[in-house]
Structure 1
Amino acid sequence: MRTKICGITSVEDAMNAIEAGANALGFVFYEKSPRYLTITQAQEIIKQLPPFVEKVALFVNVSPKEVNDTCKKVGATLAQLHFEVDEDFCAQLEIPHIKVVRAKNKEDISQFSEEYRLVDAYCEAYGGAGKRINIEWFDGVDCSKIILAGGLDPDNVASLKKYGFYGVDVSSGVEISHGKKDPNKVKEFIKNATT
């Protein structure tokens, strides 16, 4: 499974994740998140990163223009949309994007089944709540285009391999405190997801 370490707030955490083998890093542009970054802070981190790492910008309730402008300014390579968007919204994006399904029930996980999408457990707050989704919902489902998020950590990620998810996304499950990653947990999470 491919791995994304989300809620990166420092160059040190970004480099530790990359050295541990992360395929993607997530940067949060949602002001209510404890992992929120300003454009300047994100630029400082992203400009120091090596090539071939996906740099994902996470958005909640913004305009297509804001997504485009922010991604261009910081050098993000993918936009992650944590809110309801329609085809018109997506047509205005100038950067590749991935939709997030905040699943309340088993039926929700089949939304956007033709495209790669991130599936997270529904909660009132957006992202980073560490709430675990009901894994049994994925029994017998084609998970090859799903990136699973929500309540993952180094101890439970290996149990997901049998489902064939495209990838896994973790934030709070590898942290010492909000926005500060534990390098050992990051390493262990990636090792358990990929070996």
Structure 2
Amino acid sequence: MPDSRPTPRVKICGITNLDDAMAAVEAGADALGFVFYEKSPRYVSVQEAKAIVTQLPPFVERVGLFVNKTPMEVDLACAESGMSLAQIHFDVDESYLHALHTKALPVVRARAPEDVMTFEGRYRLVDAFCESYGGAGKRLNLEWFEGIDCSRIVLAGGLTPENVSEALAYGFYGVDVSSGVERARGKKDPARIRAFIEAVKGSACGR
């Protein structure tokens, strides 16, 4: 019997240049992530992100990743850079999310199985806890997702072309990869991007 679950969306995060952005789009990525966290090796400025975004084709989600910024700062950066979604990659509550004018994707940095239910009912990204706020290649235990509805969860943390297929059975809304498709920090490997997306979406992607 064919699998009736929708194909997970794919986000390629940590985009720092137009070549990597276009490689991801051409391979079939649904979303591109831009890191506005100054301490990240994948950091881009608002102006740098805007220069990339203005050259993208239509229908590609542009996601800005933010750490320790106020709602006003997030909204302003998203408006100036052309982001369509704000990924809030630090601990916030519902009042913070409601204060945003930009559509938000809260991030749960999970330390324990019960953490994956934080923001239950919302679309959310679940990543392994890391002091450096992501991109460290640390994997989550997939057993934490046994028996729960993952249809509003984007899974991140240590995913690669070689292991992402293990996650597909859980019915995640999407998967997010950064370091797993890099040749060096901040520089993507087009072949690994294609392999990752093909592993998620099948060999029809990128034709």
**Shared fold, TM over 0.5:** yes
What does residue range 129-140 of structure 1 map to in structure 2 within 5 Å?
129-140=136-147
TM-score (norm 2): 0.93
Task: Please give the alpha-carbon distance, in whole angstroms, between the structure 1 residues aligned to 2:177 and 2:199.
Answer: 13
Gaps of at least 5 residues in structure 2 are 1-7, 203-207
Corresponding pairs, count = 195
Secondary structure at the counterpart of residue 120 of structure 1 = strand
The CA RMSD over aligned residues, in Å, is 0.7
Q: Quick one: which of 4, 12, 30 aligns to 2:11?
A: 4
2-structure distance, mates of 1:14, 1:6: 10
% identical equivalent positions: 59
Shift of the alpha carbon at 1:39?
1.2
Residue-by-residue CA offset, 1:157-182 (whole Å, 9 max, x unaligned): 11111100000000000000011000
Partner of 1:95: 102
3-state SS, counterpart of residue 180 of structure 2: helix
Return the match for 2:164 from 147, 157, 160: 157
Measure the CA separation in 2 of the matches of 1:92 and 1:100. 16
TM-score w.r.t. length of structure 1: 0.98
**Farther off after superposition, 137-146 or 4-13:** 137-146
CA distance in 1, matches of 2:112, 2:50: 37
- Which deviations, in whole Å up to 9, do the C-alpha atoms of 1:58-86 show, x marking residues without a partner? 00001111100000000000000011122
CA shift for structure 1 position 87: 2.5
Aligned residue in 1 for 2:69:
62
Task: Tell me which of 26, 32, 35 is aligned to 1:25.
Answer: 32
C-alpha distance in structure 1 between counterparts of 2:97 and 2:169, whole Å: 32
Q: Quote the residue 1:38 is aligned against.
A: 45
Instruction: Indicate which of 109, 132, 135 corresponds to 2:116.
Output: 109
Name stretches of at least 5 consecutive residues in structure 1 with no aligned partner. Answer: none
By how many angstroms is 1:153 displaced?
Answer: 0.3
2:92 counterpart residue number: 85
Runs of 4+ that moved beyond 2 A: none
